[in-house]
Amino acid sequence: MDEDAFRAFYERTARGVWAYLARITSDRQLADDLLQEAFYRFLRANANYETEAHRRHSLYRIATNLALDARRRSIIRSASIYGGAEIETLPSGDQPGAADRRADLTRAMSRLKPKEQAMLWLAYGEGASHSEIAAVLGLSPTSLKNMLFRARRRLAALLRGGPDGSVR
């Protein structure tokens, strides 16, 4: 990939990848570092991709692996990007603002497994198809459907203020 192609690809994808990393690591600083590492590894792989979609999948797969490795190494600070720590249900009747709702999402997401967070963000933040998500996360499309259903059900329950987000 030459410089012009890389720069165009970077401009198209960097913000989305950063948002994805920030969401699944819950750490903006780490997302900054992982973003550069992801693009470096992507360049170093120097692979030929048939389509833009394949190229994006590869980049997201690298970003996902980096984020999951970082979590495994427990280098993620416990504080979230909004400073939230524990899940709290908003008081009933409260009319939370946008910042509160975002904080709710962060706290609810933090109750999910890293892979669940990744698949939900890819599906509903990036608009990726099931096959694309399966390719990025290294899952079979059939398993993905099941896992995505359960993760979505659990997150929705948490966002609605369910006590533990258990599937009902």
Partner 1 sequence: MKRLECRFESEVFRAVFQGRWPGRADPDLAAHVAHCAICSDIVTVAGAIEESREETAAPPAIPNSGLVWWMAQRRARLEAAEIAARPIQAAQAIALVCAAILFCAYSGAVVSRFVAALARLSPDKGDLDIAARLSAAASLLAGHAGLALAAAAVLLLVPAAAYLAIGRD
Instruction: Name the DSSP letter for residue 93.
Output: T
Cα–Cα dist 84/79, whole Å? 6
Select from 22, 30, 119, 139 the one that contacts partner 1 (CB under 8 A). Answer: 22
Whether residue 120 contacts residue 155, with contact meaning beta carbons closer than 8 Å, is answered with yes
Window 82 to 111, contacts with partner 1 (CB under 8 A): 98, 101-102, 104-106, 108
Pick between residue 7 and residue 72 the one whose CB is nearest to partner 1. 7
Select from 83, 91, 93, 127 the one that contacts partner 1 (CB under 8 A). Answer: 127
How many CB atoms sit inside 10 A of residue 149's CB? Answer: 11
Cα–Cα dist 110/112, whole Å? 5
SS3 62: helix
Select from 30, 31, 76, 137 the one that contacts partner 1 (CB under 8 A). Answer: 31
Cα–Cα dist 78/72, whole Å? 13
Interface residues with partner 1 (CB under 8 A) are 3, 6-7, 10-11, 14-15, 18-19, 22-23, 28, 31-32, 35-36, 39-40, 43-44, 98, 101-102, 104-106, 108, 120-121, 124-125, 127, 145-146, 149, 152-153, 155-156, 159-160
